[in-house]
Structure 1
Amino acid sequence: MEVTIDTQYNVAHIRLKAKPETGVQTLTLSDDLHVDISTDGTVYGIELLNAAEQLQEGSETVVKLKELRSGREETWRWAG
């Protein structure tokens, strides 16, 4: 899994697995949320437009990564 955040274009992308050349369509769930999914239901990626607004907590944009078994947690913050 890979998470990329482009602060210049205000886009975040969560890539769950490499997308094949064919057989995947992008579903637009809202103006700001797109999901790459195959006909068998496999989700390959999630794209957030206006990412800073969607990930906002107070005056910062926040992304948290938590591993439930170990309790390990990482947090990324940047001014939105």
Structure 2
Amino acid sequence: MQLRDTELLLKVDEALSAIGPMLTATWPNLQSIHRQLMWCRAQISGEPSEPRQGPLTMGLIATREFDMWGDMPELAVLINRIQRAFE
């Protein structure tokens, strides 16, 4: 794993740790972010994963959920940075 990959993996793990306590079956948008972050994590670490299910949308969802309507703009920025790294 290259340094860039290591740094990106740390960012993905940071985002997963932040949203983990909030995961519920009644918050499908957060489940979508979690699923996309897990896909990103698998790509970096070489773990098996599902094929990508279309374009990444976690940045848009995070902006809406954590910045526009929520109180966690830093988390939205982090997730957007991760998404940009995969585009």
Identify whether the pair has TM-score above 0.5, normalized to the shorter chain.
Answer: no
In proportion to residue count, which structure has more strand? Answer: 1
Larger Rg: 1
* Larger relative contact order (Cα-Cα within 8 Å, sequence gap ≥ 6): 2
Q: Output the TM-score relative to the length of structure 1.
A: 0.25
Q: Output the TM-score relative to the length of structure 2.
A: 0.24
